[in-house]
Amino acid sequence: MKHNIALIVSYDGTAYSGFQSQPNQTTIQGKLTAAIESITNHEVILHGSGRTDAGVHSHGQVVSFQTNRLLAEERWPFALNGFLPDDIRVRRAIEVPQDFHARYSVVEKTYRYYVTNSSVPNVLLRHMQYHFPRTFDEIEMRRAAQVLEGTHDFRAFCAKRSLKENNVRTIYNCDIHKIENGYCFELRGNGFLHNMVRIIVGTLLRVAEGKKSAEWVREVLENGNRTSAAPTVPAYGLQLWSVKYDLFNSE
């Protein structure tokens, strides 16, 4: 009998060339597949909820694979963590129905982007918080964030080489939480284009520093031109926070 196993995986993306396996590159998918195969003793095909770029972190990435190996749900994390480097941890395993697929069954995703907003960066969090030592107009920025909520064609907020035929996505929430010496941007949506969160955050920071207005963000969204939006902020501030399925939420 085949078992379909979903794993909730956190990782520090600093040392990796992204999630997806590539020849001669150290990747999250490569490390996970090797660890799983050490236990299953047969080849597995690992599906992720989606890719994360080089340097991007994860709190709640979800992967799934089929195996003949029978192991209790609570045993999988301990067994796998023994084979994984200490910057990748399996937080939980769930035996899911045969028709569950880490990517196709996604209902909703949440990303977080962390920004340090003080004159000097926090040394202990320098690998996970983008240092933005400028003025921060929170009110206008929140107004701009609201412009982005809802269903829109987000082609202006997508890496050009990755544009698809359909670039319409829905952002349910674009929240900004105050944290110690900074801000956490939390975006929840039904799907995200390539670099979308990092371009949105860069654009909102333009508004925060007073160089642009919320009205400008509306214009960028409407004209659909990538070059109108702000540059992509660095990967290391980003975390794939959670993935929601009908069966569970990986938060």
Residues that bind a second copy (CB under 8 A): 10-12, 57, 77, 81, 86-91, 119-124, 126-128, 239
Residue 123 CB, shortest distance to a second copy, in Å, is 5
> Toward a second copy, which CB reaches closer, 120 or 139?
120
- Residue 160 is given by DSSP the state G
Sign of the CA dihedral with 39 first, then 40, 43, and 45 last? negative
Min. distance of Cβ 198 from a second copy in angstroms?
18
Nearer to a second copy, 84 or 201 (CB): 84
Q: Which parts of the chain fold into alpha helices (H)?
A: 28-40, 75-81, 138-148, 196-208, 214-223
Q: Is 153 a catalytic residue?
A: no
Own/partner pairs, 160-167, CB within 8 angstroms, 24+ separation: 160/226, 161/194, 162/193, 162/194, 162/195, 163/193, 164/193, 167/193
CB of 56 to a second copy, least distance (A): 12
DSSP string, 185-243: EEEEES---TTHHHHHHHHHHHHHTTSS-HHHHHHHHHHT-GGGSPPPPPGGGEEEEEE
CB of 161 to a second copy, least distance (A): 29
Query: Are the CB atoms for 226 and 160 separated by under 8 Å?
Result: yes
Nearer to a second copy, 133 or 150 (CB): 133
53, 153, 175, 246: the active-site residue: 53
Cβ-based neighbour number of residue 233 at 10 Å? 23
CA–chain centroid gap for 114, Å, is 12
Which CB atom, from 11 or from 192, has the smaller least distance to a second copy? 11
User: Minimal distance in Å, beta carbon 121 to a second copy?
Assistant: 6
Q: Which is nearer to a second copy, 54 or 159 (CB)?
A: 54
- The residues carrying an active-site annotation are 53
